[in-house]
Amino acid sequence: MPAKIVDLSARSDIIKDEPFGLHFWECEPKEFLEYLQDPRAFLAAMGIKLPRRCRIETTIENHDWIARNTGNLTQNGGGIVCNVGGGNVGIARDIYRVISYGHTHDSIGKFRKTLLHKPTEQERASGGVKPGAKRVTRRRKR
């Protein structure tokens, strides 16, 4: 079973009310191969139950890296595959898209991200930074 399964609808009231699902999960290489072999059953086992008419489309961003670092998805330990899935499953389009990206464990938490709003907020305030304006950053207190 994949790790770090996150349903973004459970994290955001705004996303929860939209007619699409949005999810994140992390796989070991052998689990990712299982996903590729039967994506509908794999997603259902995680709790993502899609209507039969809903197509599943998968994009692998760095397929060559994943293959090279995982023995063509036959060996765990050389990396992990992170996935973001979402789609308009409630109305007209009936598609669930998954974007997959492989990387090593040591890259987790390595990059500083600029968040659009505080984790305690549901959304970013309207407006934004005007072109050419200096961006305000806060330094951590020591």
Taking only the tens place, the pLDDT of each residue in 19-76 is 888 999 999 999 999 999 999 999 999 999 988 888 999 999 999 999 999 988 888 8
The first and second tokens of residue 102, run together, are 């492989």
Q: Are 69 and 62 in contact (CB under 8 A)?
A: no
Return the higher-pLDDT residue of 93 and 98.
98
Number of domains present in the structure of the chain: 1
Residue 47 placed within a domain: yes
Q: What is the pLDDT of residue 140?
A: 46
Residue 44 placed within a domain: yes
Residue 138 placed within a domain: no
Write the DSSP symbol of residue 106.
Answer: G
Q: What is the pLDDT of residue 28?
A: 94
Q: Are 59 and 97 in contact (CB under 8 A)?
A: yes
Confidence label for 128 from pLDDT (cuts 50, 70 and 90) = low
Least Cα distance to 90 among 37, 40, 15, 24 occurs for: 15
Residue 136 placed within a domain: no
Domain that holds residue 62: 3-107
Residue 113 placed within a domain: no
Strand order in the sheet with 95-103: 3-7, 21-27, 80-88, 95-103, 55-60
Confidence label for 129 from pLDDT (cuts 50, 70 and 90) = low
Residue 43 placed within a domain: yes
Full-prediction pTM beyond 0.85?
Answer: no
Phi then psi for residue 101, to 5 deg, are -145, 125
Q: What is the pLDDT of residue 113?
A: 85
Residue 124 placed within a domain: no
Per-residue model confidence as pLDDT tens digits over 81-96: 999 999 876 666 789 9
Residue 116 placed within a domain: no
